[in-house]
Structure 1
Amino acid sequence: MANEIAKSVPTKEAVVEPEYPVTAMGVGALIAGWLVPGLGHIIQKRWIRGVLIFVSVVAMFTLGLGMEGKIYGFNTGDLLEMLGFVCNVCCGALYFLAGAQDWGQGNIHRAVADYGTKFIFVAGLLNVISAIDAYHIGIGKKK
């Protein structure tokens, strides 16, 4: 009886996940998708998905700036400001453009500015998720 139970329990060797090699297309799609939202999908001929991602991320980022949301710079003082910086950098080129144009100073006197800051955060997080999706398509893990 113990032998029968041991045979029915999967062992580590029995559960083998397929290995996906790191490819140039995967890494290129990841970097391109981070820099320009949706570009990682566009270079892989996923036109509709790439355009939808581009429009979504740019619209959320623009709406966030329009609501006077804050763009965080590099800061090692406060944990929440560091997380804000990470979320902002995830927007890719939009973050660097906002920094070069001195946009996103934030307005602490308006409640809507806090919502704008959250819009910018979500735009960055959506951009990272889409860049990782483009990477998975590039290495063949996702169709």
Structure 2
Amino acid sequence: MGASDLRGVTNDAFSAYYKQQLGLTDQEWSALEACLRSPLPVTWRFSGNDERAISLRASMEQSLLPLLNEQPTSLPWYPDRLGWQFGVSRAWLRGKDRPGEGPEGPEAAAAAAPRSTSIKAFHAWLLRESSLGNLQRQEAVSMVPPLLLD
């Protein structure tokens, strides 16, 4: 059973408990549950904020991003465009999602198609730069405390 299968599993005790604890209506609970079942986007930040990080970001923007159909975006609140988000799941990026998963809207059909060469190259770049310590694959919410704590 993969992650996509687990997103469809229901647990009535869990639902009843949290719905009551949070005092939610059926409609509010449905919206929250849909959010909880949504895969998180791929996010990363460049290590540090020095010239090397900015140079690596510029290289990514010039050589990798123009080749992609779906575009990662910089996090508007992260300094110097060093924090990024790709609106696809990690499984989709790895080519593991099933039809109907991955990007929403017109791109949903493409999620079932084999990964493009440019997506494979981008994924390989993320893995390589992460293993070299040049970027951190980290959820966006985890990027906030260091910024606030300076």
Structure with greater helix share of residues: 1
Q: Which has the larger radius of gyration?
A: 1
TM-score normalised by L of structure 2:
0.30
TM-score normalised by L of structure 1:
0.31
